[in-house]
Chain A
């Protein structure tokens, strides 16, 4: 698959030396007593390790049975599984997947759910790498873009992945896909009869781990048609993913009211909190979506096991504009926004609002005169919001963005807040220019220009891992 690399210079970026510290499991006493194993010395003599300059034989004074000089290169990767897990968990998924071919021991270790978790735990800690994922409608391709910052340079790489899915289905460019969650993304495919007639009542929902290229087809919901895929969430207590889908309520199909259904998905080798029962792995209704209309512009926003939507209240005087669904308890709630946070023209403001997860918090982005404010929800029970960032409108007047009509700029259409890294907001402007914006000093730097074909993509920050979804 095509992949290209380009370098960009950045004017202001001070690299910090990061020691990745992650706790290894300590077996203090066990390790204290443990003797280092050595591999077969005769074998080692035949094939001396590469690039060694030290003399033959054991170093002086090293007792028999301790790691001898020649054999220890072998034991670096085979004698101590704790160390192996520690080393491997610092490698990118691609490298690890290749190392499965080295020998049986490596294959077993890398496939072990314990290792998958160790790797997952460490992955988000590399602050030099920001990964994004989006989907191109025309080619059914998943693009994984990684922005790596090293010293003064930025290296941007792209991986194109074609998920495997049944031939009768096609990914349609204006169809929904959910934002990435815990290394997985979900997308919806339309069924084509005789290769050219689409059947909108039948859809295929696919979960894919772009890093390992593992895919999982979610079974069709036998009782309901016309699914509207919202995305996936993750319940950390039960180690389960849940696919969230809305279905038209049959009795008033065109009124825009929905039933919400969930499909739980497990991880290979990981037992959830609930005993595994085949009956759990099926679509189930969690009740009607509250009687609000979902804004067409609003995507489901998943934060820490809770899904959120911006809704249009049917009574104009109400200020309950966010509906949340706790994926673990499977309960709907309302999240209140305080009126004073809102721009003057309250009735229209849902048009200019967007939900996004930044640094593990639910944030709302909306226009406030010539700027965009980003508020984070600090306290769920008391609905306390705090203003975290502001994007000055002038940055959008940068010469590069000539073709923007300033008067009508809207978050989500003309620019989009994608994510955050080291307090800098990652924005995409006009569907093509990615830049970092630092609200502390109003500086911004362009990272790359990529033409994304349409609004069909769902762009999101992504952390790769080795999780394999299973039913």
Chain B
């Protein structure tokens, strides 16, 4: 693949440069490139200039190697299916080093606040960058995992719109789970 440059314009009219190979990590951009409707600059009205560099950083890291990230993703599951003679310790070690390195990079990359997480998640969804979407969604899931409904409502500014009767019924359901949850 040639290193043709692609230009992306954020919602606030700032232009960013990205290699075509890296841009192909995004299904949406890939379709635009392959569709031949590339007209100099691709406008991204849903991605702002403070998020777009973050997206580009991810694409640079993962551009052109969609296959390998898939491999990591299915690692644990695939292992069960392999047949005995295929087990190769050396290959396993190399894979482990690679995975560890990627994991470290991802840890540093994902160090941001809730707002950026949300914007990045939307951008990944909009641009169809599967790996980034999974990464951000997984983080969002881990943020709400252990919270009570009250904490969720407070944190996300949600008003309970149940009628008083429904509310009562819901509290019963909530209580049912409470004693078990206390130990987690």
Contacts and interface: CB of A to CB of B under 8 A. Distances in A.
Given A4-B183, A90-B138, A91-B144, A103 B76 contact: no
A4 B184 CA distance: 9
A77 to B, nearest CB: 5
Contact of B46 (A35, A71, A88): A35
A359 B133 contact: no
Contacts of B100: 17
A97 interface: yes
B174 A87 contact: no
Interface residues of A, number: 85
A101 B122 contact: no
A17 B128 contact: no
Contacts of A43: 157, 159
Interface in B137-164: 137-138, 140-141, 144-146, 148-149, 152-162
Tier of interface size on chain B: 35 or more
A422 B81 CA distance: 9
Nearest to B182: A3
B19 interface: no
A17 B70 contact: no
B152 A86 contact: no
A47 B135 contact: no
Interface string A86-106: 111011101101111111111
Secondary structure at the A interface, as helix, strand, loop or mixed, is loop
Contact of B157 (A1, A20, A73, A97): A73
Contacts of A421: 80
Interface string A59-76: 111110011010111111
Contacts of B171: 101
Nearest to B82: A423
Contacts of A24: 125, 133
A53 B80 CA distance: 45
Contacts of A197: none
Secondary structure at the B interface, as helix, strand, loop or mixed, is helix
A50 B154 contact: yes
A31 B102 contact: no
Contacts of A59: 48, 50
A439 to B, nearest CB: 8
A100 B181 contact: no
A19 B72 contact: yes
A364 to B, nearest CB: 17
Given A1-B180, A102-B153, A31 B126 contact: yes
A39 B157 contact: yes
Given A52-B113, A98-B177, A16 B125 contact: no
Contacts of A420: 80
Contacts of A105: 161
Contacts of B144: 77, 87, 91, 95, 99
B159 A103 contact: yes
Interface string A409-424: 0000000000011110
Interface string B55-83: 00000000000000110111111011111
Interface of A: 1, 3-5, 14, 16-24, 26, 28, 31-32, 34-36, 39, 43-44, 47, 49-54, 59-63, 66-67, 69, 71-78, 80, 82-83, 86-88, 90-92, 94-95, 97-107, 124-125, 127-128, 157, 159, 213, 359, 386, 388, 420-423, 439-440
25 contacts: A1-B180, A17-B106, A19-B73, A20-B73, A36-B46, A36-B122, A44-B157, A49-B114, A51-B114, A60-B12, A62-B11, A62-B48, A66-B46, A77-B152, A86-B137, A94-B177, A101-B149, A101-B170, A102-B153, A103-B160, A124-B77, A127-B76, A157-B184, A386-B83, A422-B80
